[in-house]
Amino acid sequence: MTLSVAPIVADGSDPVPAQAGIGLKAQHYLEIIETRPPLGWFEAHPENYMGAGGPPHQYLTAIRELYPLSLHGVGMALGGDEALDKNHLNRFRALVERYEPGLVSEHLAWCRRGGVYYNDLLPAPYTEAVLDTLTGHIDQMQSALGRTILVENPSTYVTFDDSYIPETEFLAEAAKRTGCGLLLDVNNVYVSGVNQGFDPYAYIDAFPVEAVGEIHLAGHLEEIRIPGGRLLIDDHGSDIIEDVWALYAHALARTGPVPTLIERDNNIPALGELLAEAARADEIMLGSKQQMRAS
C-alpha cells in the first residue's frame, strides 16, 4: 500500500494523520531526509532536543519540514508526588513552540525523586490521593504548553496493596477532570496482562476509547521464565509479536483509525524494517476501517 505524506499547512500546525509513524532515531536522520519515505509522521522524545542548537536541531528541523511531528515526553514525572520540574517544563514548552507538533504526550509514571532522575518509568498506586496529584500535574503541564496532552497507560510488573481504582477507570477519570486525551499503548497492555494475569482484551474493552488520540506498538523481552508463568519486560528492543498485532486489531475495532507509532528504542534496526512494521500497521488500520464501514 502506498501512502502520501500529509502536507504542512501554512501555520505549521498540521495534525498527525490517522496513519502509522515511527520513532525518530539519529542513525536514520540522513536516510529520511535523502529518501523521504512514504510515512505518515515521526515521533521524537523532547529530552533528546533540549539543548540550544547543534546537529540534533538541524536534523529535526529538516524532518519537521517534511513530516508531521509528535513529541513524546519521558521525563515529566506526572505520576510522582513531587512538584513538576519547572525548568524541564519550560524546555518542553520551548520545543512545542519551536516545532508545533501535532501531538504531545507523556506517561502515567514517575521517574524523579529528590532532584535525581531515574532511567525507568515507575508505576504509581491508583488511589484518590494520587489521582488528585496526577490531575494537578496534567493541568499544570497543559496550562504551560497551552494545549491538550495525551497520557499513556504504563507497563507494570507489580501491583500496589493500596491500589483500589482499576487502571482503566483511573485513566478515564484523569481525562474527565483535565480534558486531556489518552495514549493507548497496546504492547503495555499485553505486557501488564501477562505479568499480572489479566485478560488484555477485557482491558481494551474497558478502556475509555473516546479519549484515545494515539496508539503505540512495540516489542518486548521475555527475560525470565518463572514456574507457572512468564515475565515480560517492555524494552522496545525487538519486533512486534503476533499477539500484540492481534490485540492492536481488537483495539482499532473500538477506536477506529488512530495515529499509530512503531516504537523502537533498543537494538535499532535498519530504517526499512521499521517502515515495514509501519506498513503492516497501516494495512490493519485500513482493514479495520473497511470492516467498520461494512457494519
* pLDDT digits 0-9 by tens, 190-214: 999 998 989 999 999 999 999 999 9
Q: Count the domains in the chain.
A: 1
Check residue 9 and give its pLDDT. 31
Question: Domain range for residue 123?
Answer: 20-294
Neighbouring residues of 195: CB distance < 8 A, sequence distance ≥ 6: 156, 157, 230, 231, 232
2 part of a folded domain: no
Which segments of the chain have a pLDDT < 50?
Answer: 1-12
230 part of a folded domain: yes
5 part of a folded domain: no
Residue 204 belongs to domain with CATH number: 3.20.20.150
Check residue 294 and give its pLDDT. 76
4 part of a folded domain: no
Is residue 129 within 8 A of residue 84, CB to CB? The reply is no
Q: Which of 120, 116, 181 is nearest to 150 (CA)?
A: 181
Cβ density class 145-156: b for 16+ within 10 Å, e for less: beeebbbbbbbb
Record the cell numbers describing residue 1, joined without a space.
Answer: 500500500
9 part of a folded domain: no
234 part of a folded domain: yes
Check residue 230 and give its pLDDT. 81
| Full-model pTM | 0.90
15 part of a folded domain: no
10 part of a folded domain: no
C-alpha to C-alpha distances, 66 to 43, 69, 176, nearest whole angstrom: 13, 9, 35
- How far apart (Å, rounded) are the C-alpha atoms in residues 224 and 246? 24
CA torsion sign for 204, 209, 212, 215 is: positive
